Structure 1
Amino acid sequence: MSESRGQADFESIWSEIKLLLDWNQGFGFYLVFGDDHRVSRRLQLRIEDATRLRSHLLQRVRPEAAEAAVEVVLKAAFPEGEDRRFHDWRAPLWIDLTTGPGEPAWEAARQQTLAALNRSRSALEKDCPRPLFLQLPEAIAPAVVTWAPDLWSIRQFVAVLPHDDRIYVPAEAIDVEGFREGAVEISQKAESFHKDGSLLTALETAREAVDRFRVLRARVGDTPQALRDLSVSLEMLGDVELDAGNLMAATTAYRECLELDRRRGMMQGDTPQILRDLSISLQKLGDVEREAGQLSVATEAYRESLELCRRLRTSLGDTPQALRDLSISLHKFGDVEREVGNIPVARAAYRESLELIRQLRVSLAGR
């Protein structure tokens, strides 16, 4: 049995849990106290990432109603019927009982659920052959040993999760340059994890990067740099969410990214950088809307992106970047027009895209 007393740092807690998960087979009871759901979510993602190669994805249970908490938790720990037949008995189970801190109904529900699990101690050890994580509010930590003494006695690990001070930093306490450098470093890590195919870790890191750039924007206001930093981090988050199959989350990220780029355009005018950023944001939004089957929305996004690429070419001339961007935009526009049945329009877009690629090839060959 291992215990992390006080607010140990996140990486130390994770290292201990990973060792236990690697060494122990079958049932294991892990008590986690913490109210910062960003931190607990990071820990869940780490656990899921560590077990996904064995195809045992973490099962999360969070009762929605206080009066149903006992039933929901016991059903998750001891599934019956068809639920039992198709259950992955080696997948870690995470039970979140942190809803409604301080609310009488939820305080009673937590105590009742702990008592029910306490009575089921022997059954848990015998019939629940997998890691069980129980997350509770930090404030009730001293009461658990009294409410559930038998359950407490079989704990393998106890941790008090730290509050994520790296994200929740009072605005006046921020060293702007240092904070931005840290945010950029985290963003680069997320991009690296994404390229390596570590989607869960990339998601965790990309979300943290976005959170940091939000804090920075709140501190310095809507400066061009703060807006672009947040926009770029949201674009990366959208890419990872899309690859993970989270279409709604990706759409939300890309929409916010586009809004920030439009705000920058209103502030700074139509500079080549802003036009290109806007074009890319529109293409990303078009991609995810097309994936979701929203072809009319995707078409409009691709059409606006194409117009911006044409403006860039007019402004910059036939540079390799301008030719390549326009070619890609035409190809995407052609794809969506083909899908909606506008074959002549699609054909014209594909033909122009091909001509630009040939022009680009000649241009690069002459260098």
Structure 2
Amino acid sequence: MPPLELDAATERTALNLLRHLEWNPDGFSLLFLFADVGPALQLSEWLNQRLVLQQRPLRSLLVGDAFLKHPEQALDQLMDLCMQPSQSSGAVWYAAHRHPADKRWNQARRSFLARLNERRFLLERDAKTPLVLVLPSEFRSDTRNIAPDLWHVRALSEELRASAPAFSQGLDAQPPPAPIQQAALLHLGTEDILPAYREWQRMSTRPSDQQTFLPTLWQAVEELLGAGRPGDAEELALQAEATARRRSETDPAPATLRDLSISLDHLGRVAKTRGDWAQAEVAYAESLVLARQLVERLGDTPESQRDLSVSLNNLGSVAVARGDWAQAEAVYVEGLTLRRQLVERLGDTPESLRDLSVSLNNLGSVAMARGDWAQAEAVYAESLTLRRQLVERLGATPESLRDLSVSLNNLGGLAEVRGDWGQAEAVHTESLTLARQLVERLGGTAESLRDLSISLDNLGLLARTRGDWVQAEAVHAESLTIARQLVERLGGTPESLRDLSVSLDNLGLVAKNRGDWVQAETVYAESLTLRRQLVERLGGTPESLRDLSVSLNNLGRVARARGDWAQAEAVYAESLVLRRQLVERLGGTPESLRDLSVSLNNLGSVAEARGDWTQAETVYVESLALARQLVERLGNTPQSLRDLSISLDNLGDVARTRGDWPRAEALCAESLTLTRQLVERLGGTPESLRDLSISLDNLGRVAEARSDWTQAETVYVESLALARQLVERLGNTPQSLRDLSASLNNVSRAANALGDPVRAQKLEAERAAILQHLARNEEAAPDSPPSI
């Protein structure tokens, strides 16, 4: 694996740390690193790649949320780690730098440093390896004052900040938000933009909690979450919950019980932000019990019904995170029923219509997970209609515009799976326009920037489908800039780290298409590091496990391109284990079954390379059975038909290798029928044309084996025309040139066999020129028939 590429400032810091760790590998030394979240993640991976080669890998420990409540226990854990080194005796990398603006986190850090300072003597006497202590970039002065003894004996102190974001013009050539707004985004979160939090601070000086105005506390919780301060948000959420509980116990009136229910919802919201789904479920479940009690006591009042629908939706979000789609659907359906009733009772009030649109989108997400495209379209379209109405009635308020943008993205995602790229581009472009407007109007809030990042990635996907890799790279790069920025602003929340990993994967796809495997591996490796951390932090949720399996497969493709089949097999096998687990946990959702099919095909390609055709056939047969099952369940969607054609081609390869020509011909012919259908349905996208070219080549090889050179030439010539067309559309990408080279070789062989050596020589000369071009650009690869 090539080393990660760092910017100049980060590399200078990295080299300083590396030199010290290489020159002083044994015995205690203390290194302070004051760093922002993103650069610290990259730096730790960079260092570890080099120290692994010296058999001294870093022993990394990223402190979790328990650090807030028990910094002393965290200190004991660190001391044990330093006193009892592993056999590798690598340095300890102790990362306590998350959420730099959070007061509770900073308080815990100060307590931790003070106690660590008291143990300086024990560290110097008993610690076996260097300690790299990672703290927020603005914590240097605190560290010097709180831990003067440790500061005095430090061997090195470095500071590392994230670079300021730079926005590109984007697709619609709209100007970026004002530079003064962008420059301030990394370190927002101070009290001057938290009015409810300031008001709560003023109220907290009052002697009795009876004077506490709970709605102010609830709003302050939301402000703190948006500012990347989940520890402070939790403190206020717990105070709101305790206050509401005391009041409800003293006077269990409907109003006090409702306050407790809402306070529990906010506590659940904080837990969700931290990725603590178990805690979120506990809070939401109690809130739901209270909401049902209030409906019984008050009757079906509009307020009690709406509160119940909110509680149901909250529990639905937990079920979605667990992958329990049956439970999610049950509570979402009940919530939707309540909200339709409220629209009937209250008329078309803005709140009731918006609530209804939210419930429709929730059910749409369940339908998408189950592959019920018709149901998804019905509810998404109804939601979009409601949201366009609300924009007209309310004017272009930020909330109504954001809701409209979300609905457009939902319908765009549905259009993508159906292969309706024209419709997908139309709605995603409209959504991007709205997202840019909201960033400008709201001054770059975390939510508005994340929405913009998602819209950019959606249009990047469309650009990739069209084969417009320049445009794809532009929008994915802008999205990555935003994702890195949000990691810093939000202090490395699970959602922000996942978004960053997705952006890295998208740029990896662009690099892979350019044939830049070093760059592809660099971003894929960074993404994999993030996803392993998220699996540990989130306790192995279905989403985090699937993300990890995707990253493993990405690195497997890089290893295949390098010819490192042992590495490819290792990561593909790990991915396959995860995907079998997910099929069991999720009950065989279409996505989980498709993922399993893809992993089986990946391992089959490794078995082919090793010449283990028995193993290849075993996994390909299982993959084909899944692909046929998905076509039956989902109908003839472009994705399911393409997956089926790939599985057929894979088994056709096995049959050809074994000399079973009738079976090979049958499989390849069925695949060809599917790829022709997809070209017609998708309007000749680059991917569909390349798939058709591959299917034609596969049938040509069967005809060659039968010595039917006339048939072979017919399909090879058609494939060559497609390869030339793709070079014209995509430019001289390494993949398109390799495909063209392979097609020229195929037609040349047929020409020779049919007694036309002059034509064959002309084709070979063209092929030789292409290979020379690839070699000059250091992109040459073994010239084998192209494969999907």
Among 245, 249, 259, the alignment partner of 1:218 is 249
For residues 34-70 of structure 1, the C-alpha deviation after alignment (integer angstroms, 9 at most, x for no partner) is xxxxxxxxxxxxxxxx997977854769xxxxxxxxx
- The one-letter amino acid paired with 1:80 is P
Closer/same/farther in 2, CA of residues 364 and 75 from structure 1, 3 Å limit: closer
- The one-letter amino acid paired with 2:269 is D
Match of 2:90 in 1: 85
Question: What pairs up with 1:103-114 in 2 under 5 angstroms?
Answer: none
Question: What secondary structure sits across from 2:93 in the alignment?
Answer: coil
The normalised TM-score by structure 2 is: 0.28
- The one-letter amino acid paired with 2:238 is R
For residues 104-131 of structure 1, the C-alpha deviation after alignment (integer angstroms, 9 at most, x for no partner) is xxxxxxxxxxxxx999575258868589
Do residues 241 (structure 1) and 271 (structure 2) align? yes
Do residues 283 (structure 1) and 307 (structure 2) align? no
Q: Percent identity?
A: 32
Among 332, 343, 356, the alignment partner of 2:373 is 343
CA contact (8 A) 1:302 1:332 kept: yes
CA-CA distance at 1:209 after TM superposition: 2.1
Do residues 192 (structure 1) and 223 (structure 2) align? yes
Do residues 205 (structure 1) and 230 (structure 2) align? no
Closer/same/farther in 2, CA of residues 350 and 309 from structure 1, 3 Å limit: same
CA contact (8 A) 2:254 2:294 kept: yes
Match of 1:323 in 2: 353
- The one-letter amino acid paired with 1:180 is Q
For residues 308-350 of structure 1, the C-alpha deviation after alignment (integer angstroms, 9 at most, x for no partner) is 0100001001112221111121111111112112222222212
Match of 1:123 in 2: 125
CA-CA distance at 1:358 after TM superposition: 3.3
Match of 1:150 in 2: none
- The one-letter amino acid paired with 2:229 is S
Match of 2:15 in 1: none
**Could you tell me how far apart the structure 2 residues matched to 1:259 and 1:328 are?**
22
For residues 121-146 of structure 1, the C-alpha deviation after alignment (integer angstroms, 9 at most, x for no partner) is 75258868589xxxxxxxxxxxxxxx
CA-CA distance at 1:280 after TM superposition: 1.3
Match of 1:296 in 2: 326
**Could you tell me how far apart the structure 1 residues matched to 2:332 and 2:249 are?**
32
CA-CA distance at 1:84 after TM superposition: 5.3
Closer/same/farther in 2, CA of residues 118 and 352 from structure 1, 3 Å limit: closer
Do residues 251 (structure 1) and 253 (structure 2) align? no
- Corresponding pairs, count: 245
CA-CA distance at 1:72 after TM superposition: 7.5
Q: Give the number of the structure with larger relative contact order, counting CA–CA contacts within 8 Å between residues 6 or more apart.
A: 1
CA contact (8 A) 1:51 1:57 kept: no
Question: What secondary structure sits across from 2:275 in the alignment?
Answer: coil
Identify unmatched segments of 5+ residues in structure 1: 1-24, 28-49, 62-70, 93-116, 132-153, 157-176
CA-CA distance at 1:82 after TM superposition: 6.1
- The one-letter amino acid paired with 2:226 is K
Question: What secondary structure sits across from 1:81 in the alignment?
Answer: coil
Closer/same/farther in 2, CA of residues 359 and 211 from structure 1, 3 Å limit: same
- The one-letter amino acid paired with 1:233 is S
- The one-letter amino acid paired with 2:342 is L
Among 376, 380, 386, the alignment partner of 1:356 is 386
**Could you tell me how far apart the structure 1 residues matched to 2:94 and 2:367 are?**
47
Alpha-carbon RMSD: 3.7
CA contact (8 A) 1:26 1:90 kept: no
- The one-letter amino acid paired with 2:288 is L
CA contact (8 A) 2:90 2:129 kept: no
Match of 2:303 in 1: 273
**Could you tell me how far apart the structure 1 residues matched to 2:367 and 2:329 are?**
7
CA-CA distance at 1:265 after TM superposition: 0.9
Question: What secondary structure sits across from 1:197 in the alignment?
Answer: coil
For residues 209-266 of structure 1, the C-alpha deviation after alignment (integer angstroms, 9 at most, x for no partner) is 212322222222x211211111111111111111111111112111111111111111
**Could you tell me how far apart the structure 2 residues matched to 1:349 and 1:261 are?**
26
Match of 1:232 in 2: 262
**Could you tell me how far apart the structure 2 residues matched to 1:72 and 1:364 are?**
55
Point out the structure with the larger strand share.
1
| Structure whose CA Rg is larger | 2
**Could you tell me how far apart the structure 1 residues matched to 2:389 and 2:264 are?**
33
**Could you tell me how far apart the structure 2 residues matched to 1:124 and 1:208 are?**
42
Closer/same/farther in 2, CA of residues 355 and 263 from structure 1, 3 Å limit: same
CA contact (8 A) 2:241 2:264 kept: yes
**Could you tell me how far apart the structure 1 residues matched to 2:318 and 2:302 are?**
25
Do residues 182 (structure 1) and 212 (structure 2) align? yes
CA contact (8 A) 2:288 2:312 kept: yes
CA-CA distance at 1:285 after TM superposition: 1.3
